[in-house]
Amino acid sequence: MHLLDNPIWNALNTRQAYFAESFGPMKRFPPDVSPLGGFEKLDDEAIDALRALLAADGTAGLFMPARIDVPAGLEIMIEGALLQMVMDDQAKLPAIERPHDFVELGDADVPEMLALTALTKPGPFVTRTREMGTYLGIRKGGKLVAMAGERLKLPGYTEISAVCTHPDHLGNGYAGFLMTILAQQIRARGEVPILHTLPGNTRAVQLYDRLGFKNRLFQHFAVFRAVSKSSAQAAPSVPK
């Protein structure tokens, strides 16, 4: 199996092992870093570990080969198809036609990063997500209006994530510009840029294609949580 076939699990067992929290056959990032978790293989033992982990509280986001039936005691908050794209080794990044001033974002920028991702919803971003890698941003009038950064890291690969632009500032090329800078930095380290996106997000997929990313793998993502007591109590009884 290729490393990228199970990227969360392999990140937590290699370059980002310092983040890993282990629960039997499951590993996850600390919840304030990312809701993502993974298994070497998704079987009954793995589902039991997921159910036990979520029994108290919280959520877990998984990348899976295909959709599964919702396990007893769990519910899915959000799910959908997931497209993994990898930058072609031979791809030449397009010339930057409109350079922009950008900054590397740090701890002091987290409140604005949280506000921007809450507005634009590029994927999960929580209080310590910034610690997963380099994040770059563009400011206009002193306000953060665009950002992109690094998330999953595996041997030879780094994922570009949290690519987003404030709705009032679309059309200025900020996303492509920030992704180009990040891709240049990743390649300079001898690594290959990768990303994950919704296949139905046509505008984003077209941008990624222009930058040299190619479709590699279709998977399924789902965010799980334990069935709430109120939901369980409201469930109809099964006639005997």
Top-tier CATH class for 3-83+220-231: alpha beta
Average pLDDT of 139-150?
Answer: 97
Domain(s) labelled CATH 3.40.630.30 in the chain stretch across 3-83+220-231, 85-217
Interhelix angle 174-188/202-210, rounded to 10 degrees, is 50
Residue 92 has a pLDDT of 80
Q: For residue 237, what pLDDT band results from cuts at 50, 70 and 90?
A: very low
Largest CA-CA distance found in the chain, in angstroms, rounded:
70
Report the percent of the chain where pLDDT is more than 90.
87
Mean pLDDT (the chain) is 92
Residue 230 has a pLDDT of 56
Top-tier CATH class for 85-217: alpha beta
Residue 229 has a pLDDT of 64
> Global pTM?
0.91
Q: For residue 235, what pLDDT band results from cuts at 50, 70 and 90?
A: very low
Residue 234 has a pLDDT of 44
